[in-house]
Amino acid sequence: MPPSVTGLRRDGTELVVSGQADPGGRVVLRTPAGRAYAAVADAQGRFDVRLTAVDGLVLAPEAQLGQESVPAPGRMVILDAARGSAVLLSPGGTSRRLGEGPQLSSVDFDGRAVILSGHAAPGANVRVEVPGRGPIQVQADAAGQWRIGMDGSPPSEVRVEGQVFAVPALSVDGDDSNPATIGRLERPDGFLLKWQAPDGAPQASWLPRR
């Protein structure tokens, strides 16, 4: 099975990417340039891959068996190497933050629909307010994650438990000459990513800082 990345932490000068894979399986994180960082999962399937990363580094997780590889469906992007912050991009789904992140973790847009997601205490009820749509109550799952899907364009503002997040304009228009590229724009209030799913569908993701 493909590896599942579940955590990220900083250890001295290195980042440690942790997760779950087949017991004894080899896990590889590969950059677009072909550089590979690898580790072997233990008897319980847990793995830790150590790497020296820079902001904006893109990594594709895969399981490797001999000459064959089984890629995970998403890609990982290092947002802030110094803080140990990254995101897992999921085609057509919710971006998942690793490391530190605010109550509103991501706003994902594919040109037709938007997904708001964040974190709270496991099982907690979260109040989300969106202009023109009224307050929304959503419950965090057992891992403390919540999400709200809605049709149309992203809102200009999202309020989570009273904390206001201004959302920049998100567009899926742009240069698609290199579909493997993930555009990363760092702003004082967060990170804006533009990328493509494997089927070529354009995606945009807004990742607030605080």
Give the residue-averaged pLDDT of 115-142: 93
Tell me what pLDDT residue 167 has. 94
Sheet holding 163-166, edge to edge: 134-139, 125-130, 157-160, 163-166
- Name the CATH architecture for the domain at 101-208: Sandwich (2.60)
Tell me what pLDDT residue 177 has. 53
Other CB atoms within a 10 A radius of the CB of residue 190 amount to 21
Tell me what pLDDT residue 208 has. 94
Give the residue-averaged pLDDT of 134-145: 92
**Two tokens at 95?**
């971006």
* Three-class DSSP category at 73: coil
Q: How would DSSP label each residue in 125-141?
A: EEEEEETTTEEEEEE--
DSSP character for 154? P
Tell me what pLDDT residue 174 has. 62
Give the residue-averaged pLDDT of 27-31: 95
Q: Taking 70 as the threshold, does the pLDDT of residue 22 lie above it?
A: yes
| Cα torsion angle, 186, 187, 192, 194, sign | negative
Q: How confident is the model at residue 89 (pLDDT cuts 50, 70, 90)?
A: very high
Q: Taking 60 as the threshold, does the pLDDT of residue 154 lie above it?
A: yes
* 19-to-41, 122, 185, 187 alpha-carbon distances in Å: 9, 20, 27, 29
Q: In the chain, pLDDT over 70 holds for what percent of residues?
A: 97
Q: In the chain, pLDDT over 90 holds for what percent of residues?
A: 63
State the first-to-last Cα distance of the chain, in angstroms, to the nearest integer.
35
Tell me what pLDDT residue 67 has. 78
pLDDT tens per residue, range 38-77 = 999 999 999 999 998 888 999 999 998 877 889 888 899 9
pLDDT tens per residue, range 1-12 = 899 999 999 999
**Phi, psi torsion values for 127, nearest 5 degrees:** -95, 120
**What is the b/e burial string over 124-152, where b = at least 16 CB atoms within 10 angstroms of the residue's CB?**
eebebbbeeeeeeebebeeeebbbbeeee
Q: Taking 80 as the threshold, does the pLDDT of residue 103 lie above it?
A: yes
Mean residue pLDDT of the chain comes to 90
Same fold, 4-89 and 101-208: yes
Fold of 4-89: Immunoglobulin-like (2.60.40)
Burial of residue 189 (number of CB atoms within 10 Å: 0-12, 13-18, 19+) = middle
Domain-by-domain residue ranges, the chain? 4-89, 101-208
Q: How confident is the model at residue 175 (pLDDT cuts 50, 70, 90)?
A: low
